[in-house]
Amino acid sequence: MRAYYFDNVPGDQRLPHDSGKSVLLEKLSALGVHYWSIPVSPSGEPDEEAVDRIARERDYKNRDVIDVSRQGLGAAYESKIKMFFEEHMHEDEEIRYILAGSGFFDVREHPTDNWIRIAMHPGDMIVLPAGIYHRFTLDEADRIRAMRLFKDEPKWTPYNRGHETDANPIRGEYLRAIGVGA
Which residues line the annotated binding site for Ni(2+)? 88, 90, 94, 134
Residue type, 29: S
Question: Annotated binding site: which residue ranges?
Answer: 88, 90, 94, 134
Residue 44's nearest CA partner among 103, 102, 122, 140 is 122
Alpha helices in 40-107 (DSSP H): 48-58, 70-73, 77-84
- For 58, other C-beta atoms within 10 Å of its C-beta total 13
Q: Residue 20, by phi and psi: left (phi above 0), alpha (psi -120 to 50) or beta?
A: left
Helix (H) or strand (E) holding 143: strand 143-150
Question: Annotated binding site for Fe(2+): which residue ranges?
Answer: 88, 90, 94, 134
